[in-house]
Amino acid sequence: MKLVIENLTCAFGGFRAVDEVSFEAESGGLVGVIGPNGAGKSTLFSLITGFLAGQGGTVRLDGHDISALPPHERARAGMVRTFQVPKEFAHLTVRENLMAAAPNQSGENLVDLFLRPAAIRREESAIAARVDDTIAFLKLGAVADVPSGKLSGGQKKLLELGRVLMTRPKLILLDEPFAGVNPVLIEEISGHIRALNADGIGFIIIEHDLGALSRLAGALHVMDRGRLIASGAPGEVLKRANVREAYLGGAA
């Protein structure tokens, strides 16, 4: 699957949070988006995934213009995001969070619920098996039956990744997967991302932890004040003078 964004723009009043940003990403690729706080990275994610309606530009998936689709339909097309602040279903357990994320459940239909209970039980046990695999993959076994609101920040990030995986995505947009996560867990999450990427899932990752991100990403896009100021291989992009000035304040 190939995502192409062209001239995406979003203004709040006179302030252009995202200003004519264009780039591409595809299944199997791993693209990083960096930039100082307030550069417009999360706003860009919301424009791509349909959570915000911008003032211009197009979002194309495999050539189809999806700019007018609501968020849930874009997700159903295989492009699924996480959030900077995890949005877990706090009163549901980790297992229930993951179960809820599975697509096309006939048990979510009230008529089927009362007329085809046996079929739904079969479907539930198939989903439960996938959930067990996901829990094992993310090593969340110890907290599987804990209400997710009680998890640590890092565990919530893992849970969000798990929920996204349950949807069988082709392209995953991660918003700061390492923020507030301890170094050991960062390595673990990086490992999961690498493994999934090797399986052909594409990633676009917003991250402040440049070290971890540049070890993962094949290409970096740098944003500053809503604009894309640089794109390229991590080692090369981070050396550029305008990037160092915008992002690192010239100090590093």
Would you tell me which residues interact with another protein (CB under 8 A)?
A: 49, 51, 70-73, 75-76, 80-83, 87-92, 96-97, 99-101, 103, 105, 107-110, 113-114, 120, 124, 147, 163-164, 166-167
Q: State the Cα–Cα distance between residues 235 and 214, nearest whole angstrom.
A: 8
Supply the minimum distance, in Å, between the C-beta of residue 189 and another protein: 18
Supply the minimum distance, in Å, between the C-beta of residue 198 and another protein: 24
Nearer to another protein, 149 or 191 (CB): 149
Q: State the Cα–Cα distance between residues 16 and 226, nearest whole angstrom.
A: 6
Alpha helices (H) in 66-182, listed in sequence order: 71-76, 94-101, 110-115, 117-138, 153-166
Q: State the Cα–Cα distance between residues 165 and 80, nearest whole angstrom.
A: 9
Whether residue 54 contacts residue 10, with contact meaning beta carbons closer than 8 Å, is answered with yes
Please name the amino acid found at residue 135. I
Nearer to another protein, 196 or 222 (CB): 196
SS3 label, residue 206 = strand
Supply the minimum distance, in Å, between the C-beta of residue 126 and another protein: 12
Supply the minimum distance, in Å, between the C-beta of residue 247 and another protein: 27
Residue 224: its H or E element:
strand 219-224
Supply the minimum distance, in Å, between the C-beta of residue 235 and another protein: 33
Supply the minimum distance, in Å, between the C-beta of residue 91 and another protein: 4
Q: Which of 24, 21, 59, 18 is nearest to 42 (CA)?
A: 18
Q: Which of 226, 232, 217 is nearest to 246 (CA)?
A: 226
Whether residue 244 contacts residue 252, with contact meaning beta carbons closer than 8 Å, is answered with yes
Supply 2's token pair: 């190939």
Residue for token pair 């993951």: 98
Supply the minimum distance, in Å, between the C-beta of residue 20 and another protein: 25
Nearer to another protein, 166 or 220 (CB): 166
Supply 31's token pair: 């693209």
Nearer to another protein, 75 or 216 (CB): 75
Nearer to another protein, 143 or 243 (CB): 143
Supply 189's token pair: 């999450």
Nearer to another protein, 81 or 221 (CB): 81
Nearer to another protein, 109 or 242 (CB): 109
